[in-house]
Chain A
Amino acid sequence: MVNALIGPSQARFAALKAAGQTPPQPIPVRALIDTGASGTCVDPMILQTLGLTATGVVAVNTPTTGVTPVKQDQYDIALIIPGPSQTHAPLFVGNLPVLAAELFQAQGFHALVGRAILSMCLMTYDGASGFFSIAY
């Protein structure tokens, strides 16, 4: 689990400014690093709070959809995962397509960070010590 910030994508941010609107501030969330997810998912409550509208549609399979993929809205966001300290540059993806999925707040997070992001990084999991690291 990591802390992250989710905001409008850089492209949308520019469009909002050009329209004379004030872009929303990024929202801090808890995000679960999930190698079992091919993409990144965000709780729709977060997307709604940011005032985002869908800019894509993709087919998705989850344990709740059964064997037939379902078409799902896709949104564009900016994702920031802060470094371990202020002297470390964050992991920043300015224009990231994400899926909306109810992540059941009882699980304690609002975003799944999947392999689309992890493909940009080197992730190491030391199970014996209970630590993981992500190098980017």
Chain B
Amino acid sequence: MALEKELETYEAKLPELKEHEGKFALIKGDKIVDVYGTYEDALKQGYAMFKLEPFMVKQIHSIQQVQFISRFVDPNVART
């Protein structure tokens, strides 16, 4: 998965991030860069800071949120 390191960082830092429940973390490598109120703000800052390099925007939830799709589709899982 392309953002494996960023996901590990999010999961490791989640106890510290819980006070920002519902906000959006901008993550690069092993760093939580900052937390933003909206997805759009985090995304724009991510591209401004990191240009076209990989980064992750992740909404902060103390309990994992799951998206549901009822139609028969095949999600792209763990592509390398």
Q: Could you say which residues of chain B place their CB within 8 Å of the CB of A53?
A: 2, 52, 54
**Across the two chains, which residue of chain B brings its CB closest to A101?**
B73
Enumerate A1-30 residues with CB–CB distance to B below 8 Å. 9, 11-12, 14-16, 18-19
Question: B16 at the A/B interface (Cβ < 8 Å)?
Answer: no
Instruction: Check if B78 sits within 8 Å of A54, measured CB to CB.
Output: no
Question: A88 at the A/B interface (Cβ < 8 Å)?
Answer: no
Instruction: Check if B66 sits within 8 Å of A62, measured CB to CB.
Output: no
User: CB within 8 A of B3: which of A12, A56, A63, A97?
Assistant: A56
Q: Is the interface of B mostly helix, strand, loop or mixed?
A: mixed
Enumerate B46-60 residues with CB–CB distance to A below 8 Å. 46-48, 51-52, 54-58
Q: What CA separation (Å) do A103 and B71 show in the bound complex?
A: 9
Enumerate B1-32 residues with CB–CB distance to A below 8 Å. 1-3, 6-7
**Across the two chains, which residue of chain B brings its CB closest to A55?**
B57
Instruction: Check if A36 sits within 8 Å of B73, measured CB to CB.
Output: no
Q: What CA separation (Å) do A55 and B72 show in the bound complex?
A: 24
Residues of A bordering B, CB below 8 Å: 9, 11-12, 14-16, 18-19, 32, 34, 36-39, 41, 44, 53-65, 69-73, 76, 94-95, 97, 99-104, 112, 114
Q: List 21 A-B contacts (CB under 8 A).
A: A11-B40, A32-B71, A36-B70, A37-B69, A38-B67, A55-B43, A55-B46, A55-B56, A56-B56, A57-B6, A60-B67, A60-B69, A61-B69, A62-B72, A62-B74, A65-B75, A70-B75, A73-B79, A97-B39, A101-B73, A104-B74
